[in-house]
Structure 1
Amino acid sequence: MIVLEFKLKGKAEQYRIIDDMIRTAQFVRNKTLRYWIDNQGIKLVDLYKQCAIMAKEFEWAGKLNSTARQAMAQRAIFAIQRFFANCKAKKPGKKGYPQFKKHTRSVEYKTSGWELSTDKRCLTFRDGFAAGKFKLIGSRDLHFYAPQEIKRIRIVRRADGYYAQFCINVERKEEPVSTGKIIGIDVGLNHFYTDSDGETVPNPRYLRKSEKALKRLQKRVSRKKKGSKSRKKAINKLGRKHLKVSRQRKDFAIKTALCVVKSNDFVA
């Protein structure tokens, strides 16, 4: 699958509804995990049944689309399977026993509960929460893919807004053009990488350059009163700075890797 990400543009009331959707998804995930702890040995189908029971027991949980509830049950079962896999492999230290989530930032939909506009520039949620229509902002184009190829939509909350990730089931075929060159690369700390020809690419050290700003923003958070609006604003500014550093590091790594691959036929 490939993942295309777009920023969601909507009203403040719509963003609050998305927060309610994420909190409900977190509740479903924790509730299914609690059910597994009390009844160990159950399968994913049993967790799906528990999601249906939960929707009838809690009215606000029933507002969330059924496929979104099933997706959260899958998250719980994946955590359980990972724990047993680590135990079977005799991994040293902690095996990753499934934990209850406190700060979930995303909710997933499968093939229902949402609808794309005809021009594929707007996304509308059709479940009980009725978040409404959002404009999709991004440089990628969904016109190349049929609606049935979109298998999942993940709504992610970040410090600078809300994003929609489209998981598309397609095969990517790229025909490489041979240059007849072979190069070896060693990734390190002093340099971003050193190749077999002796050339090096310096490490940009974005995190090191931003340490003073991050430290200053962290102090502002610690000085604010817990639960106050000013503390929430300070946390948001700190999160935006961390997000900027993360994107800088990712963009540098991807662009540098693409330059290496394009200039050489084979990278070892």
Structure 2
Amino acid sequence: MLVLEAKLKGKESQYGLLDEAIRTALFIRNKALRHWIDNKDVSKNDLQKLCAVLAKEFDFAGKLNSMARQASADRAWCAIKRFYDNCKAKKPGKKGYPRFKKRGHSVEYKTSGWAISADKKYITFTDGFKAGKFQLVGTRDFSFYSTKQIQRVRVVKRADGYYCQFCVDAERKEQHQHNGKQVGIDVGLEFFYTDSDGKTVENPRFLRKSEKSLKRKQRKVSRCKKGSSNRRKAVKKLAKKHLKVSRQRKDFAVKTARTLVQSNDLVVYEDLQVRNTVKNHHLAKSISDASWSLFTDWVDYYGKVFGIWVIAVAPHYTSQDCSVCGTRVQKSLSTRTHKCHCCGTVMHRDHNAATMILNKGLKSTVGRTESKACGQNDLCLSGETPLSKSAE
């Protein structure tokens, strides 16, 4: 599946109707969740049936396309199922009990409620809200795909406008010139990553560079009176700045991952649990700014596209063990140089870790040898939010 995205260009009145559809989708999602909380042994099918009941009970709910209502109920069921799975797996800590949402940012249609023009440059929403015809603005050429290949359509509201995502039943494959190169990479904060050849990629630190501007815009929001038009304008400017930082991160991660995969036949990285690393409050902001998970997701994706091996190995002791003799050399985070007292090896800490990661990958093929991104709607080729990850 591919997720292609284009910006919707229309009138202000049309955007207001899209807002109504988004609020209605959120209403149905919350109602489905309330139904599950109040009743025992509720199944996914029960939530689907609830959509028809809500459509008859509330006029505005009846305006939303029937399949869009079902998609909203599916979002609630995804949260419920994830909670059940975490409980069965006895996941430590919080199990992710489903919560009500105050704000919605998207509405999803399946195979009805919309119609795309023959030249694939316009889309019309035909449900009860009658948002009308929008121009699709973007660099993607949708004429390569037939209408039957479009499985779902999602409207997403962001700080700078409204976007339309198309879930297309197609597979992306590109030719790769094999060169026999094998590389292990160690992600970090001093450098974005260091490979087993000793090469480094600088950490861009997009959030840190934008902090001064963000703080200034945040102060302006705080000074404005709540509910005033000036505050709404200030909030919009702040949201656009955050959106820009998010897009900078993604653009850097995509380009860096593609370059890495294209230049090697085997890529090995450590399978870090980032949600555990951000518990360190001294490093949480820097780790989030580095966006390691986003980068490794795209490495997995491009590994699938170019048909090369991408392996994730356990991160245990990769920074402590010597890559030459295997001796364990204990060192703190502040110690940036690896010095082995056994064989005398001296190198940068990250270079040693990257070499250890490559050695682990060569010894064992245990890991994610298949791309996570090749699953249903895992990544967007153009846009910010993947369908499956933002479905809840």
Matches of residues 100-119 of structure 1 in structure 2 within 5 Å? 100-119=100-119
SS at match of 1:184: strand
Q: What is the match of residue 134 of structure 2?
A: 134
Quote how far apart the aligned CAs of 1:65 are.
0.2
1:69-117: CA deviations, max 9, x gaps? 0000000001000011111111122111110111110000000000001
Q: Could you say which residue in structure 2 is the equivalent of 1:50? A: 50
Between stretches 224-233 and 151-160, larger displacement belongs to 224-233
1:4 maps to amino acid: L
Instruction: Give the partner amino acid of 2:58.
Output: F
Instruction: Tell me the amino acid that sits aligned with residue 107 of structure 1.
Output: V
What is aligned with 1:214?
214
> Which digits, 9 at most, give the CA deviation of each residue in 1:109-163, with x for residues without a partner?
0000000011100010000000000000010111111111111111000000000
| Residue of structure 2 equivalent to 1:171 | 171
1:60 Cα shift?
Answer: 0.9
Q: Structure 1 length as normaliser, TM-score?
A: 0.98
1:149-164 to 2 correspondence within 5 Å? 149-164=149-164
Counterparts of 1:103 and 1:128, CA distance in 2: 22
Q: Name the stretch that deviates more: 222-231 or 209-218.
A: 222-231
The answer to whether the aligner puts 1:191 opposite 2:188 as a matched pair is no
**Deviations 1:213-236 (CA, angstroms, capped at 9, x unpaired):** 111111111111111111111110
Deviating more after overlay: 252-261 vs 104-113: 252-261
Question: C-alpha root-mean-square deviation of aligned residues, in Å?
Answer: 0.9
1:197 counterpart letter in structure 2: D
Write the distance in 2 (CA, Å) between the matches of 1:40 and 1:266.
50
- Partners of 2:56 and 2:3 lie apart in 1 by 33
1:133 aligned counterpart, secondary structure: strand
Match of 2:238 in 1: 238
What displacement does 1:172 show? Answer: 2.4
Identity percentage over the alignment?
65
User: Structure 2 CA distance, aligned partners of 1:116 and 1:210?
Assistant: 39
Amino acid at match of 2:195: D
CA shift for structure 1 position 57 = 0.6
How much does 1:45 deviate?
1.2
- Indicate the residue corresponding to 2:252 in structure 1: 252
User: What's 1:66 paired with?
Assistant: 66
Q: Given residue 251 of structure 2, which amino acid in structure 1 is its aligned partner? A: D
Deviations 1:26-47 (A, max 9, x none): 1010011111111121111111
- Provide the rounded CA distance (Å) in 1 between the counterparts of 2:265 and 2:121: 38
- Give the unaligned 5+ runs of structure 2: 269-392
* Amino acid aligned to 1:15: Y
Alignment partner of 2:3: what SS? strand
SS of 2:171's partner is coil
Distance in 1 (alpha carbons) for counterparts of 2:163 and 2:113: 17
Higher Cα Rg, which structure? 2
Alignment of 1:29-40 (within 5 A): 29-40=29-40
SS in 1 for 2:136: strand
Find runs of 4+ consecutive structure 1 residues off by over 4 angstroms: none
| 2:283 counterpart residue number | none
Match of 1:76 in 2: 76
Matched, 1:7 2:11: no
Distance 1:168 1:40 in 2: 37
Q: What is the aligned partner in structure 2 of residue 97 from structure 1?
A: 97
C-alpha distance after superposition, 1:191-225 (max 9, x if no partner): 01101110101101110000011111111111111
Equivalent AA in structure 2 for residue 209 of structure 1 = K
Q: Which residue of 2 aligns with 1:226?
A: 226
